[in-house]
Amino acid sequence: MQPQSRIYVAGHRGLVGSAIYRQLQQQGYTNVITATRQELDLRDELAVRRWFDQQQPEYVFLAAAKVGGILANATYPVDFLQDNLQIQTNVIAHSFRTGVKKLLFLGSSCIYPKFAPQPIKEEYLLTGALEPTNQWYAVAKIAGIKLCQAYRQQYGWSAICAMPTNLYGPGDNFDLQTSHVLPALIRKFHEAKVQGQPQVTVWGTGTPRREFLYVDDLADACIFLMQHYDDPEIINVGTGEDLSIKELAALVQKIVGYQGEIVYDTSKPDGTPRKLLDISRLQALGWQAQTPLALGIEKTYEWYLAHAQGCTKA
Ligand code: GFB
């Protein structure tokens, strides 16, 4: 990838895509192209075909996807399976057809079996049953991985697949029904502090463990992989450290400065008991995450405070 290369970031308004876009600009890439959802519906095969014919990108970061937290995944199974299958199949197929040199597909740590040994190595893919709450999303992402690997096997095309752990950061979704845990906790503690509420409700038992990666670190890893990785095998992207939801809640509470009590709503699902990625493959290439969790949460809270007006859906 050269500074003048024509680079398409699919999903540039989302958490991951916007971070990749920012990072590319910062690193001096001057020819980054994007299309909003209004300009191009990636589920529409004909529209994607025409767009690629016109735009002819050389490199593609495929960060467009229907995403959400544990409740959204379980509530909208059709959207999570069908939209993602359509988006990724259209972008991958037309990237290849129009001569894209290299494509990076973003998966997720939920592709691995629910009870995978920890930390999770790349080779554990498809060795056990999936977590039911996000099986729809996981199956779509696994199909995306296999399609990339199939293009490489059949045509020798450079499609690579990165599997990020749970992500957070500026630009995240703070809608309490559809968000992931970290933005949800920032918002819940902030609103409780401002409104003087005595309690904040955290879903589940608080015992599941998760690993959190700051999205700008992921963006840096994606550009690094585009430059240095060209292998059929998927590659994990994480920090190598996890914590319980209870520990996370205490950390967010402290950063937000909320004095009240935490209660647990055990009628809500816990999901996978633990999800910690083995990152030795990426470390061996020379990449490591830079942002400690507390600092990343502080930056995300600052972003939330500056944009809270736009995050007002209950
Ligand atoms: O982040 P999250 O929604 O997704 O939930 P997953 C992580 C854990 O936090 C679960 C708990 O045990 C939740 O029950 N939790 C506690 C909360 N309070 C809250 C809250 O207010 N909101 C939310 N959302 N959770 C996702 C998948 O699974 O992992 C996605 O659904 C994606 O598909 C992502 O793959 C990486 O980590 O359980």
Domain harbouring 128, CATH code: 3.40.50.720
Alpha-carbon distance of 12 to 36, in angstroms, equals 8
Q: State the DSSP code for 129.
A: P
| Burial classification of residue 266, based on how many CB atoms lie within 10 Å of its CB (0-12 exposed, 13-18 middle, 19 or more buried) | exposed
What's the pLDDT at 309?
A: 72
Residue 256 placed within a domain? no
Is any atom of ligand 1 closer than 6 Å to the C-beta of 262?
A: no
Per-residue pLDDT at 302: 98
Cβ contact 30:57 at 8 Å: no
Measure CA 293 to chain center: 16
Q: Is 116 helix (H, G, I), strand (E, B) or coil?
A: coil
Question: Does the CB atom of residue 175 touch ligand 1 within 6 A?
Answer: no
Residue reference for tokens 């209950």: 314
Sites in the chain below the pLDDT cut of 50: 313-314
How many independent structural domains does the chain possess? 1
Ligand 1 centroid to Cα of residue 70, in Å, is 4
Q: Which domain holds residue 136?
A: 7-168+211-237
CA-based nearest residue to 170, from 291, 56, 6: 291
Domain for residue 205, yes or no? no
CA 180 – ligand 1 centroid, Å = 5
Q: What is the pLDDT of residue 311?
A: 61
Whole-model pTM over 0.75: yes
Contact 285, 229 (CB under 8 A): yes
Ligand 1 atom with least separation from CA of 184: 21
Measured from the CB, is residue 166 less than 6 Å from ligand 1?
Answer: yes
Which atom of ligand 1 is nearest the CA belonging to 111? 35
- 198 in any annotated domain: no
Tell me whether residue 215 is in a domain: yes
Query: Which of 203, 213, 246, 297 has most ligand 1 atoms within 8 Å of its beta carbon, as the pocket-test mutant?
Result: 203
What three-state secondary structure class fits 211? coil
Considering the domain boundaries, does residue 220 fall inside one? yes
Distance CA 203, CA 211 (A): 17
Pocket test for ligand 1, best of 181, 210, 245, 300 (most atoms within 8 A of CB): 181
Which are the catalytic amino acids? 137
Which tens digit of pLDDT belongs to each residue from 186-222?
999 999 999 999 999 999 999 999 999 999 999 999 9
Residue 164 domain-assigned?
yes
C-beta separation of 166 from 109 below 8 A:
yes
Q: How high does pLDDT run on average in the chain?
A: 97
Question: Which residue minimizes the CA distance to atom 6 of ligand 1?
Answer: 70
- CA–centroid distance, 64 to ligand 1, in Å, is 20
Atom 7 of ligand 1: nearest residue by CA position: 181
pLDDT of residue 240: 97
Q: What integer pLDDT is reported at residue 314 of this predicted model?
A: 41
The verdict on residue 138 lying in a domain is yes
269 Cβ below 6 A of ligand 1: yes
What is the tens place of the pLDDT at every residue in 232-261? 999 999 999 999 999 999 999 999 999 999
Query: What pLDDT does residue 308 have?
Result: 80
- Is residue 57 assigned to a domain? yes
